[in-house]
Structure 1
Amino acid sequence: MLLYLKLYYEFFKIGLFTIGGGLATIPFLKNLSESTHWFSNTDLVNMIAISESTPGAIGINMATYTGYLTGGTLGGVVSTVGLITPSIIIILLISSVLKKFKENIFVNAAFYGLRAASTGLIVAATIEIFKISFLHLNSINIKALILGIILFTLIRKIKINPIFLIFISGIIGIIFKI
């Protein structure tokens, strides 16, 4: 029972302080990994890959996956509920008040600052994903880096459907064990 309370509490905190969407949860999950040892950096990369490859919000998918790894099915449910509880509370409070303060200079300034904070969290997450995916024990995983460059180019230049790229990347990973 203590494990489930801890899962709820940890994901409640992540849900309360994560601003900027699911990718912004990655630095918090990395910190959670280091403080609890519930999952490794490899598990974190796998969570990101699975969360990005499945329907739904990445933050919720990652919370569910982490909870499942740590406490089974009930752990997945508890972690997910913990993550979404702060959002529900905050949205209910803000929506009742925001209409009155929509044009307030302080409210607009706060949202401006929150956008900067969420951008910083997403950039930090991107750097962590890059390090975990392409660097291993101070050496570069050349095959993964080449695949990443090719996929990035295909997405930016040719506009290939991301679902197709996810599917192909999975197959390439299986074949070449990237």
Structure 2
Amino acid sequence: MSFLEQFIKQEIATGLVIIVVVFLRLIVTKAVKRYSSSYAGIEKRTNLVIKYINLLISFLAIISLIVIWGVQTSDIFITLSSIATIVGVAMFAQWSILSNVTSGVILFFSFPFKIGDVIKIHDKDFPVEGEIIDINAFHIDLVSPSGERMVYPNNMLLQKGISIIQPNSEGKGFTD
């Protein structure tokens, strides 16, 4: 019995998984772009969210292929729990990175502000006011009224009170 005949079911299932992954990626990309098209200035965030979702789809496809090709489910769970433990310990030391990425995704879907908005961050010890010039996965870039460029972490944006000041509320923005 040849290899092709011996594993025909697995080969067909693998082909179906690949087709599903391609279609899911296309559908998700179109859906996220359609959702973000009504908001100006968020192209970078749109591409970032698409990358995150595509990574999740790829991860699920790999798990599906492992199951299709006969790896025991208990072995998968043991491996995944070991990986999760190692990643958890490593991320505990780097919780701010994970927190900033998660906050970046939350900010993408909630759209509390956009590039060009002037915001005031109500921090008791260090209040910040500036115009948003860029929004990234980990932080936003601000320009203060005096022209100073500031970087503010996304997780702090969700923890502090923020006032959105219209750029033309006093007749001018901070940058030209």
TM-score band, normalised by the shorter chain? under 0.3
Higher relative contact order structure (alpha carbons within 8 Å, sequence separation ≥ 6): 1
Greater helix percent: which structure?
A: 1
Greater strand percent: which structure?
A: 2
State the TM-score, normalized to the length of structure 1.
0.25
Larger radius of gyration: 2
